[in-house]
Chains A and B, each alone.
Chain A
Amino acid sequence: MNDRIVFEDVSKFYGEILGVNRVNLSIPPGITSLVGPNGSGKTTLMNLMTGLVKPTRGRIQVLDCKTDDPENLFKMLGYSTQFDAFPKGLTGFQFLYSYLRLAGRDSRTAEQMAWRAIERVNLVEAAERNVAGYSKGMRQRIRLAQALSHDPKVLVLDEPLNGLDPLARAEMIALFRSAAAEGSYVIISSHILHEVDVISDQVILLSNGYVVAEGQIHNVRSEIQEHPTQILIRSSRPRELAAKMLQYEHTIEVSIHKDEHGLLLKTRDADRFYLALNDLAVSGIDIESIAPADDDVLSVYEYLIGTEEAVR
């Protein structure tokens, strides 16, 4: 029994255009974010995972299912795409109901499941209106409802927070977290890095069709050797602390915080820094808190992909 979403040496070319190349992934349960600039291959990876496009090379397996077996794949997978088109003439409810009937549910069950999904995305009042008249946010929500409607084990969500207002974003994030907490696989693509940082258990960084890094943010960060680790230290005596820290060979740079109650330190060896800090604490320097300053998606993204593409 396979409990991962596995990509083995997967490449996808659209004619001569590269979609993704030589992707090897093993995605565990939890929230996994695909991060990368436009055209980096996020949507291609999702389309490959859901069988909407076929790999030019390699093999993909979603838990125990192959992606060319939609009958079984979509029993356990829901995909909210970025495609902003719907079958014509359907209301929000009919859209979900039809989808569930296509899935083979009987009328009564389909109706119940459709309404439950509509309630989960807070779209009850608009459910009987034609989807063509929905706002962008409502269309996003009805797509999410479709993906969620059959309680899938794997949720693939392409830019799911696009077009949602702050309240709806918070609700959706809570929804994703709750699904992940129940053991589901939630794969999200996003270019809003601070949201990714907040919700992700692990990230996959993509650039120009290649996977640049994958794993938990902290682990990914610690593997980036060429950029010094930045640490924010809160202390009532920052200048004294800075002077002491500069005596260590692994310290590269220290700057005093604007409020004079802390300092930002750059070190090339985080482990040795923490050992040294213990010594300083024992020697009586007051240290209120220590926090990594670049142990987040944004920093990792900037280090690996570049600052100009990063979207805050």
Chain B
Amino acid sequence: MKRIWWEQIKAVIRLELRKTFFAKRGLWIYGVAALPVLLFIAYAIATSNQQHRSASVAAQGNRSLTYQDLLAVKTGMTSEEVIAILGKPPLNFHWTENRRNGPDATVDVQREDYHYSDGQNDLFVGLADGKVASIHISNGFNPGQDSVMFAGVFQFFFLRLAVFFGCLGIFMNLFRGEILDRSLHFYFLAPIRREVLMVGKFLAGLLATCTIFVTSELLQTSAFLWHFSARQSDVYLYHNHGLEHAAIYVGVTVLACIGYGAFFMVAGMLFRNPIIPAAVILIWEGINPFLPTLLKQFSVIYYLKSLCPVDIPSAPGTPPVLALLISNSDPVAAPVAVLGILGVALIALYVSSIQVRRMEINYTTE
């Protein structure tokens, strides 16, 4: 590459970054990027409150319990047996339930709820007429479950909506926004190859989206870890692949910006109305699980899903169509997935380079 091209690319990036980061029409992108962070902050606050409550319940108990103690309670036990194992419940409620017993008869059932805690995990025991009828354990710290939750938010909200629409907002405006502002001629009057201009604009968009969404991703991870104690964080990050997953999520975010960015940049050159290509690409990405393998390869989400480190299991009873959406059928190996996204992006950029050479300044028709 000629040295002057690189200088010109840097000049384009400087101009574009200023516009991209501070454009009024792009402020909503910060909102979209902040949403999952806010979600995890809310989750952290709720979990933190829960932990305080668990600690308080544990402190009120007349004996110190372990998680094994909580697991020892079984349905059918009497209240005396439960108290023998766990001690007097720190919190309990009792009431009389008037239960229907035949067409005209009712019977009174003495109900009790016991609430125990080992300081992190809560045990809720439901008793009917002095016998254990239901047991529910709420795990305070479950790195596996939390990983799945994080993966769900990442795949189904962050990638498919936040990054998707964020890239749409930024990359589509790289050329289309300039046409609407009637300022594209400023670039076209400079002694710069149109392809070099396109690369500069793409890199500027990439830098902006990566900055916004990688920051969002890191903040999500921080918010997610916020309610963990130092020991729990240590367990999650170093013994439960948390750090590795965080790094992969950052990489997937960058690849998503590259893939969607290239798609939306070319769409911004080809279409006047961004809603049409956005809808088409969104539908195409959405129906990806139902497509034949050959067609799947021409989408971004297919490769991104293959790179995501945590599989999201379908809950029992999930409808088959929904299960197919959730599952990652036909995943490809990580190197293939990375090359696939880069390949798809290169095809889109090649189309952009042809299109940018054909572009004319004719604002009156816009």
Assign chain A's interface to a size class.
20 to 34
Q: A14-B365, A73-B191, A106-B7 are in contact. List 5 more A-B contacts (CB 8 A).
A: A53-B360, A88-B181, A89-B18, A98-B14, A101-B7
A73 to B360, CA, bound (A): 16
Confirm or deny: B239 has a beta carbon within 8 angstroms of a beta carbon on chain A.
Answer: no
Q: B362 to A14, Cβ gap below 8 A?
A: yes
**One of A28-36, A74-82, A253-261 contacting the partner:** A74-82
Residue of A nearest to B11 (CB): A101
Q: A52 to B361, Cβ gap below 8 A?
A: yes
Assign chain B's interface to a size class.
20 to 34
Q: Interface readout for B325-366 with A: 1 if CB under 8 Å, 0 if not?
A: 000000000000000000000000000000001101111010
Q: B8 to A102, Cβ gap below 8 A?
A: yes
A73 to B188, CA, bound (A): 11
> What's the nearest-Cβ distance from chain B to residue A40, in Å?
16
Q: A70 to B190, Cβ gap below 8 A?
A: yes
Q: A103 to B361, Cβ gap below 8 A?
A: no
Q: A87 to B7, Cβ gap below 8 A?
A: no
With a cutoff of 8 Å between Cβ atoms, the chain A residues found around residue B22 in the complex are 89
- A52-B185, A88-B181, A98-B15 known; A83+B363 contact, CB < 8 A: yes
Q: B15 to A81, Cβ gap below 8 A?
A: no
Q: A71 to B193, Cβ gap below 8 A?
A: yes
> What's the nearest-Cβ distance from chain A to residue B92, in Å?
65
Residue of A nearest to B3 (CB): A104
B contact set with A: CB distance below 8 Å? 4, 7-8, 11-12, 14-15, 18-19, 22-23, 181-183, 185-194, 196, 357-358, 360-363, 365
A contact set with B: CB distance below 8 Å? 14, 47, 50-54, 68, 70-75, 78-79, 81, 83-89, 98-99, 101-104, 106, 146, 150
A35 to B12, CA, bound (A): 36
A106 to B6, CA, bound (A): 12
A70 to B188, CA, bound (A): 8
Closest 3 CB pairs of A and B: A74-B191, A85-B182, A101-B11
Query: Among B14, B183, B188, B190, which residue has its beta carbon within 8 angstroms of that of A103?
Result: B190
A98 to B360, CA, bound (A): 22
Identify the interface centre among B19, B183, B190, B357: most chain A CB within 10 Å of its CB. Answer: B190
With a cutoff of 8 Å between Cβ atoms, the chain A residues found around residue B11 in the complex are 98, 101-102, 104
Residue of A nearest to B194 (CB): A70
- A54-B358, A102-B12 known; A70+B19 contact, CB < 8 A: no
> What's the nearest-Cβ distance from chain A to residue B200, in Å?
9
